[in-house]
Amino acid sequence: MEGSMTMKTVNAKRGAALTAIMALSAGLMSACGSNGNASDSNGSGTKEPVKATLVLNWFAEPEHGGNFAAQEKGFYADGGLDMTLMPGGPSVSATQIVASGKAEFGMANADDILVARQEGIPVVAIGTAFQKSPQALFYHKNAGIDGFGDLNGHKVYVASTASFWLFMKNKYKLGDAQEMKYTGSLVNFVNDKQAVTQGYVTSETYTLQQQGVEFDMLLNADSGYNVYAGVYFTTEDMIKDHPDEVKAFMAATVKGWDYYKDHADEINPAIQKQNPDMSLDMMKFSAEKEMDFAFGGDAATDGTGTMSEARWTELQQQLLDVGVLKKKEDIGSVFTKEFLPSK
């Protein structure tokens, strides 16, 4: 994933997914740049749907279930949007693509949004798929690890510049943890009973169980670094010039997530069409695992996709404390809830 979001392991080849990226990328220029063109082009009084693209934060998977539900059930179309879902990947930067005008919407982590804005990229968060990140540190049972402070003395396969790791090292004084390059492979972790690796509850859990590995995990969010994951964003100009389209996008997306919550098995085959190397069995597992991350927390009371000023403010301060951010900015410029539907 982009920015501080590091490579996510999926127990499958990526060939078909990469082909899908190339095909969709080739069509982006024809699919974008049509904002404001929802006009009566056929003289019938019916407006043409507005073409728009959402750049996902990884290859198509259940973590994008709400978007595929909105696509399959016609929620985007009902809102006047002809939506393209462009898969991401390790070399795809959603913030750069959206900022360049080649797509209207993107997905990233909350910390990615803050970093992008510091770099002069005028993106704004407009909602989130997950209230809590499903990212975690995995360790073998009986490895003598009960909390984050116990990571000292262990090999930790992790992206050394990942914001969550910088936060953990600072908070838990992990100077004696041996950082190992994270490649996305689980082989070294599986073969070393004292090793630790970063991963996701929605994917590595499945893979390790399939391999018969006895493991446990520490959720990143439980360290105190509790970022919104799968954050939907657009640009300041898009909000200023096409607010109705932004509102339609978020309304359909939230409706899609609420539908996916109870109908994942119906929607997963559509996701698999874009990522055929991911099995339906794994998709079912991932969808079940992600439900609390998407619909728990504030979403249970304030509605799917909600975000809070307190959470964004806390995250900004955490990134300032570890030097990822150099200056503070008005959080009101970073995110908005004005396009989320009322619960």
DSSP 204-222: HHHHHHHTT--EEEEEGGG
Could you count the other beta carbons within 10 Å of the beta carbon of residue 280? 12
Do residues 49 and 79 share a domain?
yes
pLDDT band at 2 (very low <50, low <70, confident <90, very high): very low
CATH number at residue 21: 3.40.190.10
pLDDT band at 9 (very low <50, low <70, confident <90, very high): very low
> Tokens at residue 77, please?
């179309």
pLDDT (0 to 100) of residue 100: 98
Do residues 253 and 298 share a domain?
yes
Q: What is the pLDDT of residues 53-90, one digit of tens each?
A: 999 999 999 999 999 999 999 999 999 999 999 999 99
Phi-psi category of residue 214: left, alpha or beta, with phi > 0 → left and psi -120 to 50 → alpha:
beta
Do residues 125 and 23 share a domain?
yes
Domain final position from 178, 193, 223: 223
Tokens 């990226």: give the residue. 21
Over 50: is that where the pLDDT of 111 sits?
A: yes
Domain final position from 223, 249, 281: 223
Sign of CA dihedral 200, 259, 90, 326: negative
Do residues 115 and 244 share a domain?
yes
Do residues 118 and 244 share a domain?
yes
pLDDT (0 to 100) of residue 32: 46
Measured CA to CA, the distance from residue 260 to residue 239 in angstroms comes to: 27
Do residues 216 and 244 share a domain?
no
> 149 lies in which domain range?
135-223
- Please, what is the Cα angle at 140 between 174 and 219, to 5 degrees? 60
Contact in structure between 274 and 13 (CB atoms under 8 Å): no
| Whole-number percent of the chain with pLDDT over 90 | 86
Contact in structure between 145 and 151 (CB atoms under 8 Å): yes
- Least confidently predicted of 30-34, 79-83, 113-117: 30-34
Do residues 108 and 244 share a domain?
yes
pLDDT (0 to 100) of residue 147: 98
Average pLDDT of the residues in 291-311: 98
Decide if 3 is inside a domain: no
Do residues 106 and 145 share a domain?
no
DSSP 116-143: HHHTT--EEEEEEEESS--EEEEEETTS
pLDDT band at 47 (very low <50, low <70, confident <90, very high): confident
Domain final position from 223, 255, 289: 223
Contact in structure between 134 and 287 (CB atoms under 8 Å): no
Give the DSSP letter of residue 56: -
Decide if 109 is inside a domain: yes
Whole-structure pTM value? 0.89
- Least confidently predicted of 5-9, 53-57, 166-170: 5-9
pLDDT (0 to 100) of residue 208: 98
Decide if 341 is inside a domain: no
Average pLDDT of the residues in 20-28: 46
Do residues 79 and 154 share a domain?
no
> Tokens at residue 197, please?
């690796």
Domain count, the chain: 2
Pick the more confident residue, 7 or 222: 222
Which residues share a beta bridge with 156? 179, 196
Could you count the other beta carbons within 10 Å of the beta carbon of residue 300? 12
pLDDT (0 to 100) of residue 35: 54
Average pLDDT of the residues in 110-134: 98
pLDDT (0 to 100) of residue 325: 98
Decide if 141 is inside a domain: yes
Decide if 7 is inside a domain: no
Backbone angles phi, psi at 222, to 5 degrees: -75, -10
Q: How many CA atoms lie within 13 A of 140 on its CB side?
A: 17
Q: What is the pLDDT of residues 213-225, one digit of tens each?
A: 999 999 999 999 9
Task: Find, among 14, 154, 141, the residue nearest to 88 by Cα.
Answer: 14
Decide if 292 is inside a domain: yes
Decide if 5 is inside a domain: no
Over 90: is that where the pLDDT of 166 sits?
A: yes
Do residues 123 and 236 share a domain?
yes
Decide if 284 is inside a domain: yes
Do residues 33 and 104 share a domain?
yes
Name every residue whose Cβ is closer than 8 Å to that of residue 265 and which is 6 or more positions away in sequence: 284, 287
Contact in structure between 88 and 55 (CB atoms under 8 Å): yes
Pick the more confident residue, 3 or 175: 175
- Least confidently predicted of 42-46, 95-99, 276-280: 42-46
> Can you tell me whether residue 25 is helix, strand or coil?
helix
Q: What is the pLDDT of residues 232-245, one digit of tens each?
A: 999 999 999 999 99
Do residues 65 and 102 share a domain?
yes
